[in-house]
Structure 1
Amino acid sequence: MSSPRTRSGPRPFAAVALAAVLALAAGCTPVAETEAPPPSGGGNAIEQLETLTVASAGSMRGYSRDKFPHWRDTGKNCDVRDTVLERDGSDIKLSGCNVVAGRWESVYDNRSFTDPSDVDIDHMVPLANAWRSGANEWDDAKRGDFANDLTRPQLIAVSASSNRAKGDQDPAQWKPANRSYWCEYATNWVAVKHHWRLSVTTAEKAALADMLEGCTWANKP
């Protein structure tokens, strides 16, 4: 979960995602959820899920969002939030590199927005969840890399209300209201945890396996 920054505020998946990003920037129709690409870390989502370490959720002792430095600067008065807003939106209007207007479709709840202040940039795997599943052992630099990861499907522009409803919950505790996005949501969650070598709880793994059941790309290499 991540709230917008005070002054204003997927899907990068290698070559396939780059094409989708370019299409979105041009104002084209987004790729259908059923055509979502497989995870970028090698293997399919179910195979990746099976490799994740299963462990009880760790303690929140010592946790602070400040230990996951974000958003990183990407230009004068601009940061990673602007990058994601521009990438995930259409009909984008910029002031310098600040995103000041556009159109965003929140895949979590099928809502549309034209004001960037109504959009949050969600961390697919929330920072507090990452802390409980292994990030507590990282240094701040690595946690910053995780919090600003534009390469994995870790950052996505969604409605502020859905982002805040999700909070730091895992898929056993919260799922998007838009059920058509469940396959991609589970695939993306697994891809992030697989790359960053974060653990899952027993309930989390079971929920992910249930969400991936029947997903066409989840079983493809």
Structure 2
Amino acid sequence: MKDHRTSHVGAAGLPALKSSRLLTLRRAVGASVVAAGLLVTGLAVPAEAASVYTAPLRTAVRGLIVAAEVNAGYDRDRYFGVWRDTNRDCQNTRQEVLVQESRAAVSYTSRGCTASTGRWVTSWDNRVHTSASTVQIDHTVPVHEAWGSGAKYWSQARRVAFYNDLGDSRTLSAQTSALNSSKQASGPEAWMPPTNRCAYIGQWIAVKIRWGLRVDSTEKAALVRYANSCPNVTLTVTRA
């Protein structure tokens, strides 16, 4: 902001306000005018904290909205696309997740674009992998499940954003290929990982909240049952 210059005597012959006080008054007046305008038009200023959800696990699961899944018309490639390179660093979403989750330096096949080796410990089975070819990137809430739980009605841009969500590590994770294939599009009512089940339930609920996805009655019953047997940890989720 440019400096506000003031003379020693104002236009009316009175001492001029110091620039700092003048700036404060101008800001106060400006804020009042904006607030008044919002009140007149019936608008409200959204609070920053409104985009962040925090609650104990069991409270969070009870708050999930129940609705029947609507799966008609699902086409993964058409409506969700493929892994994107959103920051244009030549690494698509799969590669970004591999780099983020590797517990050792990653080597690449070419130009730093495609991960070749590293050290990944897949959370569903606690298995150690050193070759990127033995892991798949899993959507915690499968894409087909997301479609039937509300993504069917999203814009194309929002569906692509969900598919490539790097903003919350609970959305995507590297998992053993065979185990990921066994999960397919199943929810917790039909499939659970062999280990770290409480963590998985928390991740599933967090993704549903983050993306505003609903649950069907069978799914919710399973989530409540698992949540009641797990530590009542606090979930903090930034809504997408």
TM-score of the superposed pair, with normalisation by structure 2: 0.70
SS at match of 2:105: strand
Letter in 2 for 1:91: A
Superposition pairs of residues 1-221 of structure 1, within 5 angstroms: 41-73=53-85, 74-95=87-108, 96-152=112-168, 153-178=170-195, 181-218=196-233
Deviations 1:114-143 (A, max 9, x none): 110111000000100000110000111000
RMSD over aligned CA atoms reads: 1.9
Distance 1:219 1:84 in 2: 24
Q: Which moved more, 1:89-98 or 1:140-149?
A: 89-98
SS at match of 1:43: strand
What is the aligned partner in structure 2 of residue 21 from structure 1?
Answer: none
Letter in 2 for 1:134: G
Give the deviation of 1:193 after TM superposition. 0.5
| Percentage of identical aligned residues | 33
Q: Which moved more, 1:166-175 or 1:54-63?
A: 54-63
Any conservation in 2 of the 1:63–1:136 contact (CA below 8 Å)?
no
SS at match of 2:173: strand
Distance 1:53 1:189 in 2: 14
Distance 1:155 1:198 in 2: 16
Distance 1:90 1:100 in 2: 14
Could you list the runs of 4 or more consecutive aligned residues of structure 1 that deviate by over 6 angstroms after TM superposition?
Answer: none
Q: Higher relative CO (CA 8 A, sep ≥ 6), structure 1 or 2?
A: 1
Deviations 1:91-117 (A, max 9, x none): 132332432211111111222211101
What is the aligned partner in structure 1 of residue 29 from structure 2?
Answer: none
Deviations 1:160-208 (A, max 9, x none): 1111111111000100011xx1111111100110121111111111111
Distance 1:41 1:63 in 2: 31
Letter in 2 for 1:170: G
SS at match of 1:86: helix
Unpaired runs of 5+ in structure 2? 1-51
Give the deviation of 1:58 after TM superposition. 1.2
- The number of residue pairs the alignment matches comes to 180
Unpaired runs of 5+ in structure 1? 1-39
